[in-house]
Amino acid sequence: MIYQGGCHCGKIAFEVEGELTQAIECNCSHCSKKGYLLWFLPREQLRLSTPEDALATYTFNKHVIKHHYCPDCGCAPLGFGVSPSGAAMAAVNVRCLAGVTPSALTIVPVDGRSY
């Protein structure tokens, strides 16, 4: 299945291919403030349809994940990082995918605050 995602104003748009059944809800200081519900998948399953330089970037902690957000509307639809095995990963905020009802997904709690 292909999902369409993006920010509110349309400056960031992308397609994700995969089967979405669950999302991670992390309780760390950053994820909880943004309300992220994240779907981690291999980077090659996500295709940006807007220019990469439209993405504003926030990093913190060990700076292993680049959290991207829209500089105009402020939505934070995705991030890019590297898995412990070295694979390029994307983290998609399922709240920013069209046609997805987050409450219909299995929400997996992650205790990021304790790391």
For residue 71, CA distances in Å to 31, 35, 44 come to: 18, 18, 24
Sequence-ordered strand ranges (E) for 37-86: 38-42, 46-48, 56-58, 65-69, 78-82
- Evaluate whether 53 touches 46 at the Cβ level (below 8 Å): no
Binding segment for Zn ion (CB under 5 A), chosen from 15-23, 29-37, 70-78, 82-90, is 70-78
Quick check: 7 binds Zn ion (CB under 5 A)? yes
Q: Which of 4, 72, 95, 102 binds Zn ion (CB under 5 A)?
A: 72
Quick check: 43 binds Zn ion (CB under 5 A)? no
Quick check: 70 binds Zn ion (CB under 5 A)? yes
Residue placing its CB nearer to Zn ion in the complex, 10 or 42: 10
- Rounded to 5 degrees, φ, ψ at 49 are -105, 0
Quick check: 96 binds Zn ion (CB under 5 A)? no
Binding site for Zn ion (CB under 5 A): 7, 9, 11, 70, 72-73
